[in-house]
Amino acid sequence: MDIPSLTIDRVRHALLSREFSACELAAAALRFAEAENPKTNAYLHLCPERAMAAALRVDERIARGEDPGVLGGVPIAVKDVIVTKGVKTTCGSRLLADYVPPYDATAVIRIEEAGGVILGKTNCDEFAMGSSTENSAFGPVRNPVALDRVPGGSSGGSAAVVAQGTAVVSLGSDTGGSIRQPASFCGVVGVTPTYGRVSRYGLTAFASSLDHIGPFARTVKDASTVLSVIGGRDPRDSTSAEAPVPDYSAHLTGDVKGLKLGLPIEYLKQLTSETGDLIARGVDKLKALGCQVREISLPATEYAIACYYIIATAEASSNLARYDGVRYTFRSQSSDTLTDMYRNTRGEGFGAECKRRIMLGTYVLSAGYYDAYYLKAQKVRTLIARDFANAFQEVDAIVAPVSPFPAFKLGEKVGDPLAMYLSDIFTITGSLAGIPCMSVPCGNTAEGLPVGMQILTKHFDETTMFRLADAFERVQKKE
Ligand code: GLN
């Protein structure tokens, strides 16, 4: 059983032809994950009991002659900011090191209802704040493609397990790029769906107006299958949309002839030459498939980083107020008064990046500064969304880089938060606009480091995004 080569279709075929059972696959996948994990630190914890129980249910379905489910028997990993009943969910934070949630996120419930087998929880930047997974309280993740490099962040663990082959697909969360950027750095597919496409019930809140759940996979088809399972209205999340969820995989025809694509000029200026070359070659391949490519302008791009780091920190400062030592977190033992208890719990519990964001966010929301910073940032956000809306009057999809550079070395940017924030330049615009966007592998640098191409489409038009990405993937695989 070659676990790293599995896809959803391959698992389905093997189960239905009785090549192996879901229980055999789950047991082998758990053993493989345990053996491989010391290399990357991508899993924070495995949940063998839960995985074996899910696998047994799939085998029972098959034995009864029933369909095993769209994800029947598929080994899946879940980012540790998404709650799992009875299975520790730490958010990469010391504060939640022992937190065992009493309920499951909707995405988790849907995955298991579809027959998915959750193997474990993946490492991430603390409360999903970061671009390298070095902000985890439980040690950084190493990029399986180059172990001295970061896997990207904040969903570095979820990208790494799929690249390493210790899960077939995984769930991550994206607020400003945390799915696309690690997907690009690790050479896998990563999808940020339209804001509202996937319920966030059970996703630990970072910046609520920006948070998304989305899949990682080794193929576009697998990513689209997972999205069709987890997508759709959920009465438990009032921001989840009523929009029907298409069967995306039915649209993956390989035919993208006549599709109009936009290339944002503002994005192309700031790339390393190798990244720029790979994206240019990718665009040529899309032209060869019959796409019409033209340059477009997204003029508000230059304000995106400032705008995002005001809005996201403002919302984070409010969302993180709940970790006070009274309810589910660790509590500092060195306090005599209630105020000291709050202060010490938060002081000892949060890492440096969370503290930085709480301070920045509290500042931009404070009386006297609100209009100058927060309100201004909200107006800029509208301009960024309008840039995209204007572009989509003329083109069906936008093609862009994901990150200005490939995976950097561990420790290289960790001491310079601003340099770290700048790595999000091409991903936060799509997040601020709430449009679907994804990273699809676009080739490797001379050193063998993966580079992803970003595809962005209109709200709720994941179908066009997947169709284009799949056609591109087919060309890449032929090479
Ligand atoms: N790197 C960005 C940040 O640190 C995005 C994180 C995310 O998408 N969760 O805020």
- pLDDT tens digit sequence for 127-167: 999 999 999 999 999 999 999 999 999 999 999 999 999 99
Q: Report CA(127)–ligand 1 centroid distance (Å).
A: 9
CA distance 77 to 171: 6
Mutational test site, ligand 1, from 80, 133, 175, max ligand atoms within 8 Å of CB: 175
Burial (CB < 10 A; 0-12, 13-18, 19+), residue 167, is buried
Q: Which CATH superfamily is domain 1-479 in?
A: Amidase signature (AS) domain (3.90.1300.10)
Per-residue pLDDT at 162: 98
Q: Report CA(206)–ligand 1 centroid distance (Å).
A: 9
- The pLDDT tens digits along the chain (479 residues) read 899 999 999 999 999 999 999 999 999 999 999 999 999 999 999 999 999 999 999 999 999 999 999 999 999 999 999 999 999 999 999 999 999 999 999 999 999 999 999 999 999 999 999 999 999 999 999 999 999 999 999 999 999 999 999 999 999 999 999 999 999 999 999 999 999 999 999 999 999 999 999 999 999 999 999 999 999 999 999 999 999 999 999 999 999 999 999 999 999 887 888 999 999 999 999 999 999 999 999 999 999 999 999 999 999 999 999 999 998 889 999 899 999 999 999 999 999 999 999 999 999 999 889 899 999 999 999 999 999 999 999 999 999 999 999 999 999 999 998 889 988 999 999 999 999 999 999 999 999 999 999 999 999 999 999 999 999 999 999 88
Q: Is the CB of 424 within 6 Å of ligand 1? A: yes
Atom of ligand 1 nearest to the CA of 181: 1
- What DSSP element (H or E) covers 156? helix 156-164
CA distance 183 to 168: 14
Q: What burial letters (b/e) apply to 293-302, b meaning 16+ CB within 10 Å? A: beebebebbe
Q: Report CA(59)–ligand 1 centroid distance (Å).
A: 39
CA distance 378 to 15: 50
**CB 361 within 8 Å of CB 314:** yes
Closest CA to 169 of 150, 181, 155, 152: 155
Per-residue pLDDT at 328: 80
| Integer Rg of the chain from CA | 21
Per-residue pLDDT at 222: 98
Is the sign of the CA dihedral 316, 216, 226, 113 positive or negative? negative
Mutational test site, ligand 1, from 124, 129, 158, 429, max ligand atoms within 8 Å of CB: 129
Q: Is the CB of 131 within 6 Å of ligand 1? A: yes
Q: What burial letters (b/e) apply to 209-244, b meaning 16+ CB within 10 Å? A: bbbbbbbbbbbbbbbbbbbbbbbbebeebeebbeee
Atom of ligand 1 nearest to the CA of 153: 1
Q: Is the CB of 420 within 6 Å of ligand 1? A: no
Q: Give the start-end residues of each E strand in 270-407.
A: 292-296, 397-401
Closest CA to 179 of 449, 433, 428, 476: 428
| Catalytic site includes residue 178 | yes
Q: Is the CB of 155 within 6 Å of ligand 1? A: no
**DSSP letter (8 states) at residue 203:** B
Question: How many of the other CB atoms lie within 10 Å of CB of 5?
Answer: 10
Q: Is the CB of 174 within 6 Å of ligand 1? A: yes
Q: Report CA(130)–ligand 1 centroid distance (Å).
A: 5
Domains in the chain: boundaries: 1-479
Catalytic residue among 131, 154, 224, 431: 154
| Token representation of residue 308 | 């995002």
Atom of ligand 1 nearest to the CA of 179: 8
Q: Give the side-chain half-sphere CA count within 13 A for 180.
A: 32
Q: Is the CB of 130 within 6 Å of ligand 1? A: yes
Report the phi/psi class of residue 163: left, alpha or beta, with left for phi > 0 and alpha for psi in -120 to 50.
alpha
Q: Please tell me the total number of residues recorded for the chain in this structure.
A: 479
Catalytic residue among 173, 178, 224, 431: 178
* The one-letter amino acid at 42: A
Q: Is the CB of 128 within 6 Å of ligand 1? A: yes
**CB 366 within 8 Å of CB 358:** no
Q: Report CA(15)–ligand 1 centroid distance (Å).
A: 38
The CA-to-CA distance between both ends of the chain, in Å, stands at 26
Q: Report CA(289)–ligand 1 centroid distance (Å).
A: 34
Q: Is the CB of 345 within 6 Å of ligand 1? A: no
Report the phi/psi class of residue 136: left, alpha or beta, with left for phi > 0 and alpha for psi in -120 to 50.
beta
Q: Report CA(397)–ligand 1 centroid distance (Å).
A: 24
Q: What are phi and psi of 262, to 5 degrees?
A: -110, 140
- What DSSP element (H or E) covers 44? strand 43-46
* The one-letter amino acid at 126: E
Atom of ligand 1 nearest to the CA of 420: 1
Q: Report CA(416)–ligand 1 centroid distance (Å).
A: 15
Question: Edge to edge, what strands does the sheet with 260-264 contain?
Answer: 43-46, 117-122, 75-79, 169-174, 212-217, 189-192, 437-444, 450-456, 397-401, 260-264, 292-296
Atom of ligand 1 nearest to the CA of 210: 8
- Strands 292-296 and 117-122, how do they pair? unpaired
- Atom 5 of ligand 1: nearest residue by CA position: 176
Atom of ligand 1 nearest to the CA of 309: 10
**CB 127 within 8 Å of CB 144:** no
pTM of the model: 0.98
Per-residue pLDDT at 224: 98
